[in-house]
């Protein structure tokens, strides 16, 4: 009887471990939904999304942060790139010079709100992609 309990306990531990590993690798394969800037609203706060837009405003902070405004038609969204991420952009082949007005980019990040304005906060260098070169 004691042997059956041990076997059952080991089997349960193995199945649980396998299930956790499966969930982990499945989560890596999930990509965030592509959302138009005009569709982003406060119900999306805390969710990871991707959006595409043209940079209409760039401000570089003395501490290394970069603040962008992306537009798509009449809609806009703020994109803060904090210095901890801005310093790593070169690993994705992006220089601060690439992030300038008129450039079309794709941003993936978490929707949040700051001072009543919605924003998308990218978390890693690959969350920022240059889609169109300036002519």
Domain boundaries defined on the chain: 1-30, 33-132
Please state the CATH superfamily assignment of the domain spanning residues 33-132 in this structure.
Nucleic acid-binding proteins (2.40.50.140)
The pTM assigned to this predicted structure is 0.74
Q: Which of 63, 60, 66 is nearest to 89 (CA)?
A: 66
Total count of residues recorded for the chain: 135
Beta carbons of 51 and 36 less than 8 angstroms apart: yes
- Report pLDDT digits (tens) over 15-69: 999 989 988 877 666 677 789 999 999 999 999 999 999 999 999 999 989 999 9
SS3 88: coil
Q: How far apart are the C-alpha atoms of 53 and 34, rounded to whole Å?
A: 12
Beta carbons of 33 and 49 less than 8 angstroms apart: yes
């Amino acid at each position: 009887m004691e042997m059956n309990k041990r076997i059952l306990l080991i089997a349960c531990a193995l199945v649980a471990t396998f299930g956790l590993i499966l969930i982990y690798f499945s989560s890596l394969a999930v990509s965030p939904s592509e959302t138009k800037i005009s569709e982003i609203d406060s119900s999306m706060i805390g969710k990871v999304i991707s959006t595409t837009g043209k940079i209409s405003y760039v401000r570089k902070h003395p501490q290394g942060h970069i603040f962008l405004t992306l537009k798509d038609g009449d809609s806009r969204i703020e994109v803060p790139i904090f210095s901890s991420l801005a310093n790593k952009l070169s690993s994705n082949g992006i220089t601060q010079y690439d992030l300038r007005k008129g450039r079309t980019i794709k941003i993936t990040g978490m929707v949040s709100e700051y001072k009543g304005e919605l924003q998308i906060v990218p978390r890693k260098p690959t969350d920022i992609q240059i889609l169109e070169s300036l002519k």
